[in-house]
Amino acid sequence: MDNIKPKITVVGCGYVGRPLLDAFRDKGFRAYGYDTDQSKHNKHIGTDITEVLTSEVVIFCLPTPVDRNNFPDLSLLESSIESIDSQCDLSDKVVIIESTYAPFTTKKLMKDAGIKQFGYSPERINPGDSKRTLRNTTKLVSGNIYYVGKYIKTLYEFICDDVYLCPSIEVAEASKLLENVQRDVNIALINEAQGVFKDAGIDTLEVLKAASTKWNFVDVKPGLVGGHCIGVDPYYYLKFASEKAPFQYTRIVKAAREASILFEQRIFDAIFDLAGPAPGAIHFEGYAFKGNCRDIRNSRTIELLDQVAEYHDDWKVTATDCFVGCGGCSGYTECDILVLTVNHNYIKMRLEDGTLLPEDKKMPRAIVDIHGIVSKEFAEKYNIILWQP
């Protein structure tokens, strides 16, 4: 731990690990990425265990999803720690985990592996966000011993402008959960309000525009809640609460999950009602889990697409996403119903320049647009039925 620029191995080179690896290398660190996915392999990423063996710091950046029953699934992280430890003994290294899970998990994982110097630094990567980067986003760090925490803080200060040393690992673990649970609850409130306002004949997007003029209003839009954080972490929180505080009130978080699931159902119902009995074509433009990124993990649009295809087996159901790079990217797909559930910038640009819905082509009979991308004037001009929140 005396080396000011230790050799580092980053285990898992996806959305979290790859930027971390690149950042350390850019600062002159000897950094190696360990990943079993051969499509990611290059000069600095592979499965050379000797690179891990000669590293002083090992950082695990692996996904911690939930299973089909929404129970926390740590199997990939657990098996990776066990596998690497069996090959190169992690007990003499500083081990840091960036994955998300419930408090007390880090200490249990490290105790099981016999690791003595370790810390936790939850990732705060926001896919598709070019403004909030690894460099300018405050980095939380923690260590099992004070001097380990200080060492980890010094390490991350090379690549992050602001590093906050938490007083304990549990505080860092809990803060990560709370950040995403809060976001989930905020979105769920707006998703629930959308149903109320819609039934009352009030434009939800206009309500939000008006409400956001107040300085302390949290400007959140209705939407499908997917991805690897906001749609997952509440289940880690609920499992943790049921084990550590079984008599405490957790109905708000449960209700939030239910509200966003019901919002998905309302989108499906809108498509179902617009489709009618006659067969035709339904096209989804965009199916990443959020706008301006190519991450499809836990994409609720893909889930919705599958449901629509199942219930409308006599309809042609297609999807394209220029960010994901699948399904083509021609800019125009003829359809009877166009579904816009992802607010990619390219969709707005192609709508404005006329390549998404060219005037000389057949216009869709209806558009389901949950982000307000399509103007009411456009829909009226071409006699399109427009469903918006």
Q: Are 384 and 359 in contact (CB under 8 A)?
A: no
Residue 327 is predicted with a pLDDT of 59
Confidence at 358, pLDDT banded by 50, 70, 90: confident
Q: In what order do the strands lie in the sheet with 281-285?
A: 316-320, 281-285, 337-340, 366-369, 385-387
Confidence at 265, pLDDT banded by 50, 70, 90: very high
Percent of the chain with pLDDT over 90: 78
Regarding whether 253 and 294 lie in a shared domain, the answer is no
Regarding whether 184 and 163 lie in a shared domain, the answer is no
Regarding whether 161 and 225 lie in a shared domain, the answer is no
Q: What is the domain-level CATH number for residue 373?
A: 3.40.50.720
pLDDT above 80 (res 328): no
pLDDT above 70 (res 100): yes
Regarding whether 139 and 89 lie in a shared domain, the answer is yes
Count of domains in the chain?
A: 3
| Domain containing residue 197 | 175-257
Residue 277 is predicted with a pLDDT of 78
Regarding whether 155 and 21 lie in a shared domain, the answer is yes
Burial class from Cβ neighbours inside 10 Å (0-12, 13-18, 19+) for residue 150 reads middle
Average of pLDDT values for 286-292? 90
Average of pLDDT values for 319-338? 80
Active site residue 160: no
pLDDT in tens, 112-141: 999 999 999 999 988 878 889 999 999 999
Regarding whether 129 and 265 lie in a shared domain, the answer is no
Instruction: Flag whether 2 is in a domain.
Output: no
Instruction: Flag whether 3 is in a domain.
Output: no
Residue 25 is predicted with a pLDDT of 97
Instruction: Return mean pLDDT, the chain.
Output: 93
Residue 361 is predicted with a pLDDT of 87
Confidence at 144, pLDDT banded by 50, 70, 90: very high
Choose the catalytic residue: 229, 293, 322, 335: 229
Residue 1 is predicted with a pLDDT of 57
Average of pLDDT values for 20-49? 96
- Of 167, 194, 213, the one marking the end of a domain is 167
Regarding whether 211 and 154 lie in a shared domain, the answer is no
- Of 203, 237, 257, the one marking the end of a domain is 257
Regarding whether 268 and 251 lie in a shared domain, the answer is no
DSSP of 112-137 = HHT--EEEE------TT-SSS-TTTS
pLDDT in tens, 184-242: 999 999 999 999 999 999 999 999 999 999 999 999 999 999 888 888 999 999 999 99
What is d(CA 295, CA 158) in angstroms, rounded to the nearest whole number? 28
Percent of the chain with pLDDT over 70: 98
- Of 225, 257, 289, the one marking the end of a domain is 257
In the numeric block, the tokens 């309500």 are attached to 207
What is d(CA 219, CA 71) in angstroms, rounded to the nearest whole number? 30
